[in-house]
Amino acid sequence: MASQLIFVDDKDNVAVALRDFKKGEALQWPGGPALVAFTDIPCGHKVAIKDLAAQAPIVKYGEVIGRAKEAIRPGQWVHTHNLMPVEKE
């Protein structure tokens, strides 16, 4: 089965959408938990695969790429509207 999501490192709490998703669509990848798109997610953009509290580190490549501006739910689009850039982590 072709993946619809991809992530790079086991520690990551976001994955990358490999196609456009509409709110309510199932998000699937081999071995991954069943998730539903909580928002629309554009192709190439990130989606949370875990519950992220406000201020929680957002992890991709196993490294912190920013912090959550507000609580983010699994299946929710993650981008500049809800990710705060950080200088150093």
Partner 1 sequence: METFLGFARSDGSAGIRNHVAVIPSVACANGVVAAIARAVPQVVPLYHGHGCGRAVEIEMHTRVLANLGRNPNVAAALVVGLGCEMIKAEGLAAQIALAGKPVAHLEIQKLGGTRRATARGIEIVNGLLADAARQERRPLPLDRICLGLECGGSDAFSGLTANPAVGRVSDWLVDRGGTVILTEDTEMIGTSHILQRRACNPEVAGRIGSMVAEAEQLTHDLLGPLAAYVIAPGNMDGGMSSIQEKSLGCIVKSGSRPITQVVAYGQLPDAKGVVLMDGPGYDTESMTGLAAAGCQAILFTTGRGTPVGYPIVPVVKVASTSTLYRRMEDDMDIDAGVILEGTSLDAVGRTIAQLLARVLDGEPTKAEVNRQEGIVCMYTLHPAF
Binding site for partner 1 (CB under 8 A): 1-3, 6, 8, 16, 18, 30, 42, 44-46, 60-61, 63-66, 78-80, 83, 85-86, 88-89
State which residue, 19 or 73, has the beta carbon closest to partner 1: 19
Residue with Cβ nearer partner 1 (51 or 61): 61
Tell me the closest approach of the beta carbon of residue 28 to partner 1, in angstroms: 11
Q: How long a stretch of residues is the chain?
A: 89
Nearer to partner 1, 22 or 85 (CB): 85
| Residue 29 contacts residue 15 (beta carbons within 8 Å) | yes
Minimum distance of partner 1 from residue 37's CB (angstroms): 15
- Name 5's bridge partners: 17
How far is 85 from 89, CA to CA, in rounded Å?
10
Closer to partner 1 by Cβ: residue 4 or 74: 4
Q: How far apart are CA 18 and CA 29, in angstroms?
A: 10
Q: Mapping DSSP to helix (H, G, I), strand (E, B) and coil, where does residue 71 land?
A: coil
